[in-house]
Amino acid sequence: MRPICVKCKREMEPTQNEVLVKDKAVGRFGSTYRYGDKFQCPECGAEIIAGLGSPLMENDFYPAAREKAIEFTRG
């Protein structure tokens, strides 16, 4: 199942698999990393990342990948 763009009412297309995403630390909870898939609307170009997997352990990805991770904050 693919996400749908609310603005254009079009099904979004997958553009990249296994995008590393960093969930920033909040309070006493440290940051976590997860892989997700990037989708783009073919009409307006809006992008989203969906399907985030389980949190990863530090040795589940290369340390250099952390520098390229997309960072987000909840809320």
Note the pLDDT of residue 3.
95
Do the beta carbons of residue 23 and residue 32 sit within 8 Å? yes
First to last CA, the chain: 25
> What pTM value is reported for the model?
0.80
Note the pLDDT of residue 23.
84
Could you report the average pLDDT of every consecutive run of 10 residues in the chain (75 residues)? 94 95 79 91 96 83 81 75
